Amino acid sequence: MSLPSLPTASFLFLTLTAAFSAQRSNGEPGFLSFVVSAYVLLVLFLISLHWFETVPHRDAATKIKGKALITILATSLNLLFSWRVSSQLPAGFAAFIWAVATTTAGAEFYLLFYLKEV
């Protein structure tokens, strides 16, 4: 019997963690929607990263579309987790979390679209 590959094991772990978290929500709509949306965004992000790695380097137009998709998904995840964390913190810490999240999103956009590839 062979062991599952790392991506398969990671996907299984992510799915089980999301299922256990959804079960622990006890029907609370806000927490359940957070778990489901985070799971869907993470799966889409990982699938798009895999797709981006398999696109040939000479296909520049497809690479730009892939970068845009990855940027949108990563920023969505960043903002989703920032929203969840900042809702549990005092206002000063929440403002810091949002400042870090927006700085990260801006840096991500700059690095993916304006910085030339080496």
Which pLDDT tens digit goes with each residue over 62-85?
888 888 899 999 999 999 999 999
Which pLDDT tens digit goes with each residue over 6-65?
778 888 999 999 999 888 888 788 889 999 999 999 999 999 988 888 888 777 788 888
Asked if residue 32 is part of any domain, the answer here is yes
Asked if residue 20 is part of any domain, the answer here is yes
pLDDT on residue 1: 47
Which pLDDT tens digit goes with each residue over 96-117?
999 999 999 999 888 877 876 6
Range of the domain at 43: 6-113
What is the distance between the alpha carbons of residues 116 and 90, in angstroms, rounded to a whole number? Answer: 40
φ, ψ for residue 61, nearest 5 deg: -65, -40
Residue 55 CA, chain-centre distance (Å), reads 20
Residue 118 has pLDDT above 60, yes or no: no
Number of residues written out for the chain: 118
pLDDT on residue 73: 94
- Under 8 Å CB-to-CB from 105, ≥6 apart: which residues? 75, 78, 79
Residue 3 has pLDDT above 80, yes or no: no
The total domain count for the chain is: 1
